[in-house]
Amino acid sequence: MSGAKPAPHGWLILDKPRGLGSTQAVSAVKRVLRQGGYAKTKVGHGGTLDPLAEGVLPIALGEATKLAGRMLDSDKIYAFTIQFGEETDTLDTEGEAIERSDHRPPMAAIAAVLEHFIGDIEQLPPAYSAVKIDGKRAYDRARAGEEVAMKTRSVTIHSLGFESERVDAELRSAFATTAGRPDPYDPQAPLELADSVTLVAHVSKGTYIRSLARDIARALGTVGHVTYLKRIKAGPFREEQAISLDMLEKQAKGAAIENLLLPLEAGLDDIPVLPLDPDSAQAVRQGRVLSDLPPVQGEWADGLHLATLHDVPVALMELSGGTAKVVRGFNIPDVAE
């Protein structure tokens, strides 16, 4: 496109609203870029959110799309509400009821059962999920009326607790507690039965919150389904960094979208930096191996590094014994060169 602005590179953290699919969110960002006069830009997302879910959806632009796979593998934190008394075929509000129960668990029982779900567990994904069975999505088979035989998978629940608790130290903030509610851990507290409960879970990749909710309800001697689901952290990205789609469209009309982006390296907050000189950067861009790198603080800093030139990402490189090999290169112009 003649006269178009250069394609941007980085992360746009969307606060995805309920009812919008992840693919639709990507399309909406592409539309904002076109309206802003940007050159054709690669756009992808860092982890699907169901249309009924809301919250943090990392959108990768330009060269950041090369890191989308790493984002899919990252841990996530979700807040979710389990409504007791009814299990649906989709395990959320979209499906039809398949089982009902009049039993309502005491809050104290919920507090007691949660610890049994923390750690490495085996989980059965929902029949209405994107898991592929013989090359076809499970939800397509389920919607076609097929009997869907899911296989269990190993996942990790790092922490699980009431929304009012501090469940992840990295959040550095506690969730507001409900005024007047008894402490469920207090043995002297009056018995309180719960129609629903809102929990927060820090989970590994591949964890289905709907399945977790189903299993918690069953462990409590009842059934349940998810009525509210919000992702509040995805990898290094948090809800405080997220911007609504309406705000994105509004701000993009009066400002460069680069002002709303987090840099590509924001998705690599746990990766150490390897500064390069211009000659080394040129070699890396040609895919060549770097040898005889100096040790860091007297030791070889083996492992994955982000190689940069003038703070501009050049490549992800694997270091071993003073030798660095390119894992993934980035094509981002360096204005300082």
Return the active site residues. Answer: 50
Buried residues in 19-37 as b, exposed as e (16+ CB within 10 A): ebebeebbebbbebbeebe
SS3 322: coil
SS3 200: strand
The Cα–Cα gap between 311 and 134 comes to 45
The conformation of residue 42, written as its DSSP 8-state character, comes to -
Closest CA to 310 of 335, 284, 285: 335
The conformation of residue 290, written as its DSSP 8-state character, comes to B
Q: What is the dihedral of CA 188, 194, 197, 201, to 10 degrees?
A: 50
Q: Please report how many Cα atoms fall inside a 13 Å half-sphere around the Cα of residue 51, on the Cβ side.
A: 9
The alpha carbon of 287 is separated from its chain's Cα centroid by a whole number of angstroms, namely 31
Q: Which two tokens stand for residue 35?
A: 């309206």
Q: Which two tokens stand for residue 325?
A: 């090999």
* Cβ pair 209, 187 in contact under 8 A: no
The alpha carbon of 318 is separated from its chain's Cα centroid by a whole number of angstroms, namely 25
The conformation of residue 296, written as its DSSP 8-state character, comes to B
Provide the pairing of β-strand 54-61 with 224-234.
parallel
The Cα–Cα gap between 128 and 52 comes to 13
